[in-house]
Structure 1
Amino acid sequence: MDRIDLLKTFVVVVNEGSFTNAASKLDMSNQLVSKYINQLEKHLDARLFNRTTRKIHLTEAGYQCLQHANHILESVNDMEGQLGLLNSQVKGTLRISAPVSFSTLHLSDCIGQFQTQYPDVSINLQLNDRKVDVVEEGLDVALRAGVLSNSSLIAKKVTTIKLAVCASPQYLKKYGTPKHPRELRPAHYLEYAHVNYDNDKSELIQALRTNAQKHAPRLTANNGEVLADVAKHGEGYVLQPTFIVSKALQSGELVSILENYVPQSISLYAVYPHRKLVSSKLKVFIDFLCEFFDDTPHWDR
């Protein structure tokens, strides 16, 4: 039997003055009330009541137990009330990790609108393209793009991320437009450092992997925006998510190539530690993210 429940039963017996009245108050049998008190006395190795046929009286140990029990139960009630308030009210600080380019290009608007709707929520946003340890670094949630590995973390899909192979018009005019991945020039690849396509068997990825073994990429960087800007100047081709290159594609600064060979779309996930112990602030933030970006995000419409 839970010790808190034993203490609650003990306090009710004291307040009601008898086992019978306590049983009625607690909606249980006299025998069960007596059993709980016996269990508590056995656990404490002390007699709590002197019993007569008509009345019960607290022993000295019983008086001491009552003082401690009232204090313990009051603390438990305070804790439950405070935690319940935290979980029912949308307030507090959210610690978030998110990819750099996605955040600078698209997340700021989302966060601004979220905080307008929920002004009592503070955001601590950490931008990093590395895979952070959500639990170890004390984060509430991390946004991750790609195929997730198996873990104890919970993942909620936020939106779909399409990929595109791009080059500038001047680059294509100078070197021609490739019709097949094997026609790509290995030395002209502008490579994103953090990408991992080990499980991707598409012809394009196989070609990029084979080319990398033959010739080092012209540029490797851990920021996709920098790579896309270099590609705009005719210095090579990139494989980047459309949330980075969509504006350049719409303006004609970049041209999409090899569309039939582009790897399948990936997803952006909100990753967090617990399924059951989700605070209201985190729940409404994840729901807001999913609604804001939708499965087809605005940059692909």
Structure 2
Amino acid sequence: MDTLDCMRTFVAVAAQHSFTGGARQIGISTKLASKYVARLEERLGAQLFNRTTRSVTLTDTGQAYLERCIPLLDQIDEMEGVIQERQSELAGPIRLTAPTGFGSRELVQAIMPFQERHPKVQIEMLLSDYHAPIVEEGIDLAIRFGKLQDSTLVARKLCDMRLVLVASPDYLARHGTPGHPKALATHKCLLLQSSAQPDLWRFQDAAGEITVPVTSSFRANSPRAVAYMAAGGQGIARCPYYTVRSFIEAGELELLFADREDAPLPLYVVYPPSRHLTARIRALIDHLAEWFQSAEQNPWAPR
């Protein structure tokens, strides 16, 4: 039984907090995953997990071992990646996390040509509107919007995303079109809860920044949910452009104050500083940067 197989199984079980989930992640049976971890514990003479019928959690020893396992396995992957790069054939897994709405369409569209060129790279996409802990979950890359909260992560900027104000023609016909951003205080606004200060909307004009406090009876942590509510005539929304582009093109939403849009929202790909980037991960980062910086593929960039 290969020690590396045991270590990879241990890392997967730790990331999934489950023998079943860890086994599924690396494509083996739960029984074999349990056997691998037991063999590793026997070899080390230490208990790595606390096991109950409901949960699997790391012991203090297990946490210390995990922190050393991950960079070691990364270095081994890096050595394999060097060989792959010389053979011009990339292979192996990449675990990637991204916001649900953006990941399910825009990111998938970006990744498809990469997978066509590198069919032996297995991408596992974990979509969530909450920031997953990258190291603890065994994630290679994360796609993040806006100001980065975790300064320990290494970040590469992919593009800037327009933040736009929209409303449906039906809503504007019933409630009137606001003539100035300050008039939004009297309108029904739809708030994106995951943004910083969701009830303070900022605009830029020749006089400088305008900050408008808004109120709402609807909030959501998904920008697509906010966009659909706006398209349904339920209020005025402020969203990243990618979420409303199809509605605007179909005439279901109209842009408001396009000449006074706030600073754009940066989009990053991030990874832990301790992560040794394999050839396949570096190739995916380069591909995403090229894709999202292309004017053809990025119609939502600031004008």
| TM bucket normalised to smaller | 0.5 to 0.7
- In the other structure, the counterpart of 2:227 is 228
Aligned residue in 2 for 1:84: 79
Match of 1:284 in 2: 283
Task: Tell me which amino acid in the other structure corresponds to 1:169.
Answer: P
1:202 is the counterpart of 2:191: no
Give unpaired runs (5+ residues) of structure 1.
1-78
Stretch of structure 1 that moved more, 282-291 or 271-280: 271-280
Map Cα deviations across residues 233-292 of structure 1 (whole Å, 9 max, x no partner).
211010001111112112211011122332111111000113772111110001111112
Equivalent residue of 2:276, what SS?
coil
Q: Report the counterpart of residue 160 of structure 1 in structure 2.
A: 160
Q: 1:119 to 1:233 in 2, by over 3 A?
A: same
Paired with 1:193 and 1:276, the residues of 2 have a C-alpha distance of: 31
Q: Distance in 1 between matches of 2:136 and 2:275?
A: 19
* Counterpart-to-counterpart distance in 2, 1:222 and 1:83: 37
- What is aligned with 1:253? 252
User: After superposition, where does 1:96-245 map in structure 2 within 5 Å?
Assistant: 96-149=96-149, 151-185=151-185, 188-197=188-197, 202-203=202-203, 207-208=211-212, 210-212=213-215, 217-245=216-244
Counterpart CA distance in 2 for 1:88 and 1:286 is 19
The structure number with the bigger radius of gyration is 1
The whole-number CA distance in structure 1 between the counterparts of 2:76 and 2:224 is 47
- In 2, the alpha carbon distance for the partners of 1:262 and 1:112 equals 32
Give the TM-score of the pair, scaled to structure 1: 0.65
For structure 2, list consecutive stretches of 5 or more residues without a partner in the other structure: 1-73, 85-89
1:74-93 deviation line (CA, Å, top 9, x unaligned): xxxxx988752234422111
Deviation, structure 1 residue 191: 0.9
Separation (CA, whole Å) in 1 of partners of 2:288 and 2:107: 9
Residue 97 of structure 1: SS of its match in structure 2?
A: strand
Q: Read off the aligned partner of 2:259 and give its amino acid letter.
A: N
Report if the CA contact (8 A) 1:202-1:261 is conserved.
no
Alpha carbons 1:153, 1:274 under 8 Å: kept: yes
TM-score w.r.t. structure 2 length? 0.65
Is contact 2:203–2:260 with CA below 8 Å preserved after alignment? yes
| Aligned counterparts of 1:179 and 1:288: Cα–Cα separation in 2 | 42
What aligned pairs does 1:3-82 form with structure 2 within 5 A after superposition?
none
Cα 1:81–1:236, aligned 2, differ >3 Å: closer, same or farther?
Answer: closer
The structural deviation recorded for 1:139 is: 0.5
| Identity of matched residues, % | 29
Structure 1 stretches of 4+ moved >4 Å: 79-83, 203-208
